A and B are shown apart, each in its own frame.
Chain A
Amino acid sequence: MRAILQARKLFKRYGTGEAAVDALRGVDLAVAPGEFVAIMGPSGSGKSTLLHLLGGLDAASGGESLLGEVGLSNLPDADLTRLRRRSIGVVFQFFNLLPTMTAAENVGLPLALDGIAPGEVSARAAGALAWVGLSGRADHTPDRLSGGEQQRVALARALVFEPKVILADEPTGNLDRAAGEQVLGLLRRACDERGQTVVMVTHDDAAAAHADRVVFLLDGQIADELAGPDLSPEAVARARSRLQA
């Protein structure tokens, strides 16, 4: 099957001269449509950088990220933004919501930015909120939502345009176990029920075990992969320990 998301010899360098750091060193990765991929690795291994480059949130120093057949590096900013808005949903660990907007308004933001009529924005935002189980919280501002609810609103926003790809940067890193499980369950359902592709960065073995495949990064390179029906938190933990040893 043709990959929906690809990294081809991705290279990223931060800083210059003696202070230069190579965060990614020629990463190749292909993600199939509907696949749930977790990216793991120690701090500074390049996980988030890879995610950002795959989503066109940052510019690569070398190599290419592709969404379907479209290369992201050479797209003009306006086109890249439009592509990201419609085809890539992003969820971060912190500060996911705009504080002055209600849950429904936060969810509808990408649609409103796209110039979609307010009536349709409201309807689709309500649908997305219902999907994450937060219909009753539509009019709440972020300060009146729990951390888990805020993250589900953020997920609803990432899903509202029905994008092909959802990128999640440690989405459960700031949540308790129960709230984290809810978010991970929703990401799994996005793949299973909606056919969306999920790429998630995580430190958590149990979170990674929700994925179809776990990619391990070390020093800016892919060091190992784990996939298959026997993917469990214990298996992920073993693989991670093996890598760090």
Chain B
Amino acid sequence: MRTLLRLAWHNLRASPVRSALSVLAVGFGVATLVAADGMSRSITSEIARTAEAEAITSFMSEQLDVGLTAVGLVIVLGAGFLTFNAFAMAVAQRRGDFGRLRAAGMTQQQVLGMVLTEAALIGLIGSALGIAGGALLGRGLIELVSATSEMFNRFGDVGASPARMAWAAAAGTLIALWAAWVPARRAVRATPLAALRPPPPDTVRLPPLWPAIIGVTGGVALWLYLALAPPGVWIQPPMASIVSGIFAATWLGCLALILPVLIAATARSVRGLFSRVVGPSGRLASDNLRRHRSHAAFTVVTLAVGVGMIVGVTGYMTFWFEEIFFRISDTALRERPAVGLFPLQADAGLNAYVGVTQFTLPEGLGEEVRAAVGDRATVLPVHFVIVPELAFMGDRYFSFVMDPAELRDSGNMMFTFAAGNWEEAMAIADRGCAMFLTPSVARRQDLWVEDSLRLTTPSGPLACTVAGVGPTFVGASILSDAAAEAFRLTEPVGLVAFGRSPQDHDDLLQALTAIADGHEGVWPMDVNRLTAYQREGMKSVQTAMDGMLILAVLSAGLGVVNTTVIGLTERRREFGLMRAAGATRRQVRSVVVIEGLLFGVLGAVVGMAAGAGVVVVYTTVSGGSSMGFPDFPVWEAALASLRPALGRGLMALLLTPLLTAFVAWIPARHLLRGPVTETLAEGQRAW
């Protein structure tokens, strides 16, 4: 074991740049996972001092954690691709070394053990760096979000949990081991003699066409089906999520099948153009892309993952916030303007929650408001609770507790029926605890109208009956006020006055502002402004995600450096030959830089196709089913969600090739520094 460890360490030191790049890639992934946890814990640590505050803020931190963790896992996966590529190429390069070790008496298992020890060392060192860097990254992201968000402007000073650090490190190490396992297994299977033979000449070979034909056929069939009969118009949860997942995986699978031919076709189609514009350097760059197709494919995939996530996350969040959450509220608020009173200044962002220990309105304020607004408005007292069974996402998404009659009289903003009606709902509410749920929550609990469920409350189980299914405000489930006692609710967290007509808005705002002025710790808030803040919050979450996703693209950039370094080593003599034939350093460097550029373009295009495709698949398959919107305009919503996503994708398409060309230039410059004979020399490894 000690010998293996010593050999593995020696090998890592012999290729310092390659080892460092793999370590950094793993480190980026682990750091992201750690930072995600640290950031979400920071939101709740100082703010959620009351049950109500926790109900409101914990869903935000939980969703942020889920989103950022997903990004982190994708970066770890990207690190896996990079490490796989690094090991695949390193193993191919060290074929002769393996042959010599096997000839000297090493068993297959010992050689495999040596390579896996190298991978484990990379994983462990990367994880250690990632844990240390995760704290810094978390702080950096918090600073970024604080600087750009009016809503997320207060964070606690806590780091990631030890449990998160442990599993992030485990994920980093395991992915490195997995990445090394496949190429190492293949390499050690060769006999010592076969391993010592020089590899076959490297020529341009056409990839097999049949996978691409299957991919194109599958893709066309999928899009035709979605165009002609989008499931979003009829599907119900939880099938919506399952079918979305299957279709999205199908789309990504189709792209994966097409990728080798796409790389070869792109390289072939730009060959003539590059030859004319850049000369032999452009021609050779496009040829090399076809020659090293598997290396190219992995590098392109690593880049595509980052870009695809940027596009996908943007589209997904736009769909949820613009097309789902606020679909009804904007129209409803135009018809019936709403003004509320709250025990905090909601437009102060998270700062408003600091030091709040009494998170309810003063006793008797409801009567005062009702008296002030008279017939001009319906006053709806609002309580927030956490009911895991009714959480719209995860298990800490908040639910409302409201008087069903006042809910009915407040208009469409808080709830509209997709199943049931007010007459039956009121009858159910008269019998006890009633629930108004989105189809997403109802289907998850296998419930429909008039079905009952025992809920978890601070006072023990509480049986509630579904009184209606349909879209609710931001997806939160609504319980009737019969549940108030079980949740030990006293005064409400908010009092919202819904005007009878648009003209009532100014009067209501004036009346409620006057009341708030008379009470310490009470603030008025236009609900339109509140929804604007929620949208702002969504953008802040996206800013944090973008910060992480830039790391994903940078991590993919490391993959390009890695591929370039190893490609340069493999083609060292070729470059020397070019120099001997009269190519200047710049001309040889151009070959490498153009290759990097092509990686970037292909990665960005494939990433855009993957991300945009997944967004459209998700939106057309799930439609408005989670909320139960009637006549949901599936394709209109899909395209509206896609627009901002493609905007970011285009930015990635512009910036990624620049990044990849730059990172390819660095090792190329290093390799070509010496005289021609140095470039021609055999047995030397670049970096």
Instruction: List residues of A whose CB falls within 8 A of some B CB.
Output: 52, 55-59, 77-78, 81-82, 84-86, 90, 92, 95-101, 105, 109-110, 112-115, 118, 141-143, 157, 161
With A59-B675, A99-B202, A101-B287 as contacts: A109 and B581 at CB distance below 8 Å: yes
The residues of B that contact A100 with a CB separation of less than 8 Å are 203-204, 284, 287-288, 290-291
**Contact between chains at A81 and B582 (CB < 8 Å):** yes
Residues of B within 8 A of A143 (CB): 201, 203
**Are B579 and A98 within 8 A (Cβ)?**
no
Q: In the complex, what distance in Å separates the CA atom of A118 from the CA atom of B676? A: 26
On whether A142 and B580 interact (CB within 8 A), knowing A57-B677, A113-B279, A113-B280, the answer reads no
Q: Is B627 an interface residue (CB 8 A)?
A: no
Which residue of A58, A86, A92 is within 8 Å of B582 (Cβ)?
A: A86
In the complex, per-residue mask of B566-592: 1 if CB is within 8 Å of any chain A CB, else 0:
000000011001111111111100000
Partner of A96 from the list B291, B577, B584, B585 (CB cut-off 8 Å) is B577
Chain A hits for B580, CB < 8 A: 55, 57, 84, 90, 92
Residues of chain A within 8 A (CB-CB) of B284 are 98, 100-101
- Of B574, B581, B677, the residue contacting A110 (CB under 8 A) is B581
Contact pick for B201, options A52, A81, A99, CB 8 Å: A99
CB contacts (< 8 Å) of B204 on chain A: these are 99-100, 141
Q: Which residues of chain B are within 8 angstroms of A84 by Cβ–Cβ distance?
A: 580, 582
Could you list 25 A-B pairs, sorted by A, with CB under 8 Å? A52-B676, A58-B676, A58-B677, A59-B675, A78-B586, A81-B579, A81-B582, A81-B583, A82-B582, A84-B582, A85-B582, A86-B582, A90-B580, A95-B573, A95-B574, A95-B577, A98-B574, A100-B203, A100-B204, A100-B287, A101-B283, A109-B280, A109-B582, A110-B582, A113-B581
* B203–A57 touching, CB < 8 Å: no
A77 — nearest CB in chain B belongs to which residue?
A: B585
Q: Which 10 A-B pairs have the closest CB atoms?
A: A85-B582, A100-B287, A58-B677, A57-B676, A110-B582, A112-B280, A58-B675, A81-B584, A90-B580, A95-B573
Rounded to whole Å, the gap between the CB of A132 and the closest CB of chain B is 16
Instruction: Flag if B582 contacts A52 (CB, 8 Å).
Output: no
Q: How far does the alpha carbon of A82 sit from the alpha carbon of B586 in the complex, in Å?
A: 12
Residue of B nearest to A158 (CB): B581
How many Å from the CB of A82 to the closest CB on chain B? 7
Provide the bound-state CA to CA distance between A73 and B287, in Å: 34
Give the CA-CA distance A104 to B593 in the complex, in Å: 25
B-side contacts of A113, CB under 8 Å:
279-280, 578, 581-584, 587
Determine the chain B residues whose CB is within 8 A of the CB of A78 once the complex forms: 584, 586
In the assembled complex, the Cα of A141 lies from the Cα of B583 at a distance in Å of 20
Knowing A81-B583, A85-B582, A113-B279, say if A92 contacts B577 (CB, 8 Å).
yes
CB within 8 A of A99: which of B203, B279, B579?
B203
Q: Identify which of residues 273-287 in chain B touch chain A, using a CB-to-CB cut-off of 8 Å.
A: 275-276, 279-280, 283-284, 287
In the complex, chain B residues whose CB is within 8 Å of the CB of A101: 283-284, 287
Instruction: Tell me how far the C-beta of A67 lies from the nearest C-beta in chain B, rounded to whole angstroms.
Output: 14
What is the minimal beta-carbon distance from A23 to any residue of chain B, in angstroms?
Answer: 11
> Which residues of the partner chain A approach B675 to less than 8 Å between Cβ atoms?
57-59
- Quick one: which of B290, B574, B577 has the most chain A CB within 10 A? B577
Can you name 9 extra interface pairs (CB under 8 A) apart from A57-B680, A77-B584, A85-B582? A57-B676, A78-B584, A82-B584, A99-B291, A100-B203, A100-B290, A101-B287, A112-B280, A113-B279
**Which B residue's beta carbon lies closest to that of A85?**
B582
| B576-635 CB contacts (< 8 Å) to partner A | 577-587
Compute how far the CA of A161 lies from the CA of B280 in the bound complex, rounded to whole angstroms: 16
Give the residue name and chain of the A residue nearest to B678 (CB).
A58
Tell me the minimal C-beta distance from A30 to chain B in angstroms.
23
Taking the closest CB of chain A, its distance from the CB of B489, in whole angstroms, is 74
Of all chain A residues, which has the CB nearest B202?
A: A99
